[in-house]
Structure 1
């Protein structure tokens, strides 16, 4: 055998060894995947099904945390979670078993958790953009169809049309037309405030006279009627403008069930409610301050 033949034989032997090594590695990987797949008990959900279930569970938990009135009791919380299980066609035991199995494989569980959170974030951003557009459309329609002096009969801080309040402004002519007596009130009834936590909800009435400005305000923290009182005439002074607003600071969306009913400016008899309605209400004495910025 020549030297050239021996060299060729060595090269072929080296290549064969490398191919054999690659095949062994590939076989090991495939066996590992197969063993891992076979090691998952049949009662444990597959990864995709588990991620879908985790997504709905996270949403349900957020609903429970943010809506105490609706899900304040353990029974209501359990009913909501059971509804999620029914949607996915599983039982509480399957959820517990699957969660325990994936939790024992922490790297895989963290990847799944990151995937679910990313999906939740995308959904939140899409929902937030939709609400922003709806709010812009509503504000545009309000400015187009209602004058600055418009006061709604009722008002909702809801999810369909997310809003943080309303405001109004009357000039001298509008005050003369709408308010007949010297003493008047800006009033409304509140429902939907939870026992805890309390919202950052305020009502302000700004009374502009020729020589002074008077502010009256109320912190709205209970489900009851509120009255902010004013006068057209002060000693040697007459009112020129009335500005009022109700403002809710709610960046978390916890208080979207709050409703304002029977809103009016003037006298209780001028509103849609019966005249005797407010006669039975203890008088409310709003605080009087100066220098409060209505914005």
Structure 2
């Protein structure tokens, strides 16, 4: 029995050593195992998105452009993907383990999304029970009973109880935006202080994580109210397969200093705020703002975006 265990341990060491030697001797153009697993995960997600959104991916060119966009985000070329896939495929034991790891992650993500969808659908049927401060952790524009986005409002008690620390961020991740996306898709965070109102504005153009930052205190002033929204204005009438996930308003340890302060009476960059349509009239077309820029003015002279 002892000899049997010794042989088993020896075989295991030889197998591990062989795998390590194989990985150490991969060509420079071949991606590392962990990097390859992350890329495989995103490619699987992209393929599923294209399969379920035929209207936006109805040609080989559109599909290829979307996959190439994934490569660009990972800072690799299509040739590196092909070389890496071929190299790992020739080492079937490693490839199968990588594939299993990716499948486990996909399954875990799917379960999390399904749980969030169920929770959000339940909330949609009980809108009257939701507080103004409620921020959904997940939002799909194709779900039943949804509108073209959501909004929220936090007053002083909500700010004190929900946000720890002085500095915070409203963040969300986006998936499902197709190539050549031209619809108006925006987010605005409004920070209302005693004498000042600050606007954080973001145009949403690609699949990534967005962050709009704020602070409870500025020089000589304290934050009283936070309002925000994410809004999609789609004139085509086609229900998009765009989803928002990891949505949260949370404390952050580092607050980026603002670098732009402008006085604006009753407007932003000379254009009035259109609260009925939940967008900034002509601002998107005229002069988009970076997420870390702000517009500051006296509270009495700036209309609040509801």
Query: Which range, TM-score by smaller chain?
Result: 0.3 to 0.5
Larger radius of gyration: 1
TM-score normalised by L of structure 1: 0.47
More helix by share: 1
